[in-house]
Chains A and B, each alone.
Chain A
């Protein structure tokens, strides 16, 4: 095989990374099954699975980056990546949609049904269907952010840390865009400074979310086990926080790549992919802020 010229679409040769990834998910899956059932080596297998997964991502993405930097990807390959990333984000949107759907279904339909009518009264006498609730047999709701005693929980108020976090994430969207302008103008200083700032905002967000969780568990009596409110609250904000973590790691990776001089003003798909992802995480947060914290 000699050189590639003209409009050739880059086709990678056989690769061992996928099977490494399958091994990782096998270890992780079996490990999780054992771990949630408290069977001995479960935790270790999960760790091993994650370890192999990171090894794979390192190797696989490393190879892609090397191919990209050596100019193997033409404009058509670039377009493939764009389509791929867009559809991936769409799949993520649908994943969150399932949990938002659960939230709306509970709030608008099933919780009112529990308290309504004869059946509700017979089955759960005295249960008033309000939101937030931990359900007829769950903990009792008290005022937001109040100290909870045994058998009580306090919902999370919107206008403290969550509002601050909204501000942080929205700002990070702006800083990221300014960094992108820097990249397009070929102004490396602007690029790196504003990208670093974005990372810092992401990390701060995560720090605040951690303190919020800590407070929920230690003071508010608000846990995963606090009925349907606790379930939807932690699963939605938790998966979001997980995505922010991934987004932050991706931002750090492209920050390091920018510092190494990667990306060209006219071709920098990886940067754009990360920024799309970051904006997506941002938008999900707005949904959370409005429907989980505020309304």
Chain B
């Protein structure tokens, strides 16, 4: 270790081994690994719940479960996927990549970093454990709307405290990331030289710090309404259940950008690498990301068009929502322009990235459709909405996570992953994804409501198709597990610059696998 690197010498250089290594670690790479594995376990957990949902919906009529349990499944599926799978995965990427990409020795607050992670299993246990308490898990939807959520049993309190703990974890994680980016950049790494992944995380972390406390406030009000006699959401006491929706979606819409901005970042690293061209319109990407973040605070009521908003408010939120499509369009344009006349190759990360561009855009367009108030009044709470947010979240956020895993596995493990299996994973996922979710557009347009365990006969065919797609998609994810495990065990050795087109610091300055401590002396960036 170089002399310029200060380390706590009460404990010397080494670190504990075995389980205690992971419990006490202050190393950003270890913590990143923990986040990613945690997220994968949650993905499988939430995925299992989804398969149970689809099994029930395979045919009309009540087949395999009670309706209350079905409601618990949709609720927990949403909560686990949003807070357990997608968000922690991106924090895992941030942990691994941000210090390496900006030439920092670690995260700014390594101990707090450890705590941010180790709060997650606590929260996840509360959530998953709530299935086993009297009354079953929360069943009011992941959005926890009053008055439904004010009724219901002890599991709702477990959900409330789980959300609190997740919030503490996210806020600490975000503070850590912002501080790292603002204060630990290597000399010469000016803001406008930062890789786009770092930029998107800077803005995401800002959003997290701004809205997670609002969610904490919302669930606190639920708690006091449930147990301490307050009337925030009770009209008889002068409150208003719609107020919950306002507070929730003030958090909720920025939250969907929290789940997609880091995805934009990952995609913006991958496409230039495999098109062997610099990213088209770097500065416009930064500005587009910032404007999306700012606009995301003033569009929340597009989730509430059917609550009886005043007309002026409906118009305002409709137009504001449509405005967001502009910076989003700028991004899609830039990705395509980056590929234009590039010398492209199609390794697995690139395949997922290209699929992201195509499929996320479908989700963006269906969002635009939903933003039109009179249309949304028809489509609110139908499967069209389900189709929309799965196109942005699965083929958007999750695909970027897959792309990023394949892209950086060589750097993390020192080995190349199995390209054949990777491609198989990609094609299976993409085909089954579309079989699963595309028909939901038809179902929604035909009027099938979401969050209902039974349905009218005319919806039977497409539901059967969707369920087949679901099981195919779910099982395909086991391929990913195999690829990752194989890659950790061995394989073709990866070079430092495993991808010839990659030009960020972790590829140009570090060997593969990246050593346990990196950039203890910051590199100089020209």
Which residues of A pack against B, CB within 8 Å?
Answer: 1-19, 21-22, 25-26, 29-30, 32-33, 36-37, 39, 60, 67, 72, 74, 76, 79-80, 83-84, 87-88, 90-92, 94-95, 97-99, 101-102, 105-106, 109-111, 113-114, 133-138, 223-225, 227-232, 234-235
Contacts and interface: CB of A to CB of B under 8 A. Distances in A.
Given A13-B10, A29-B162, A94 B209 contact: yes
Contact of B213 (A30, A98, A133): A98
A224 B7 contact: no
B237 A19 contact: no
A80 B108 CA distance: 6
Given A18-B115, A29-B162, A60-B111, 19 more contacts: A1-B1, A3-B3, A9-B184, A14-B16, A15-B114, A19-B114, A32-B157, A33-B126, A80-B179, A92-B213, A94-B210, A98-B213, A98-B247, A114-B238, A114-B240, A134-B231, A135-B236, A231-B230, A231-B232
Nearest to B159: A33
A10 B211 CA distance: 31
Given A10-B6, A95-B216, A22 B118 contact: yes
Given A95-B216, A230-B230, A12 B8 contact: yes
B232 A72 contact: no
Contacts of A80: 108-109, 179, 183-184
B234 interface: yes
Interface of B: 1, 3-13, 15-16, 20-21, 23-26, 104-106, 108-112, 114-115, 118-119, 121-122, 125-126, 154, 157-158, 161-162, 164-165, 168, 171, 174-176, 178-179, 182-184, 209-214, 216-218, 220-221, 223-224, 226-232, 234-240, 242-243, 246-247, 250, 520
Contacts of A90: 209-210
B214 A98 contact: yes
Contact of B240 (A13, A39, A94, A105): A105
A109 B227 CA distance: 25
Contact of B154 (A33, A84, A137): A33
A26 B122 contact: yes
Contact of A8 (B4, B115, B165, B184): B4
Contact of A102 (B119, B164, B168, B221): B221
Nearest to A66: B10
A11 B247 CA distance: 39
B214 A95 contact: yes
A229 B25 contact: no
Given A114-B238, A228-B238, A13 B7 contact: yes
A14 B24 contact: yes
Given A4-B5, A134-B238, A25 B122 contact: yes
B179 A84 contact: yes
Given A95-B213, A102-B221, A135-B237, A22 B126 contact: no
Nearest to B24: A14
A201 B23 CA distance: 42
Contacts, number: 255
Nearest to A107: B238
A27 to B, nearest CB: 10
A11 B8 contact: yes
25 contacts: A1-B7, A1-B12, A4-B3, A11-B106, A14-B25, A15-B114, A25-B119, A30-B161, A80-B183, A80-B184, A84-B109, A92-B213, A98-B247, A99-B217, A105-B243, A105-B246, A114-B238, A135-B236, A135-B237, A137-B236, A225-B229, A227-B238, A227-B239, A230-B231, A235-B221
Contacts of A109: 240
A118 B20 CA distance: 66
Nearest to A76: B183
Interface centre among A17, A36, A110, A231 (most CB of B within 10 A): A231
B26 A12 contact: yes
A227 B119 contact: no
A29 B126 contact: yes
Contacts of A19: 23-24, 114, 118
Nearest to A92: B213
B213 A94 contact: yes
Nearest to B16: A14
Contacts of A3: 3
B145 to A, nearest CB: 16
Given A12-B26, A94-B210, A235-B230, A87 B243 contact: no
A22 B6 contact: no
A141 to B, nearest CB: 11
Which 10 residue pairs are nearest across A and B when measured between Cβ atoms?
A: A98-B217, A135-B238, A4-B6, A225-B229, A8-B6, A228-B238, A18-B115, A231-B230, A110-B240, A95-B213
A22 B213 contact: no
Contacts of B224: 224, 231, 235
A97 B466 CA distance: 42
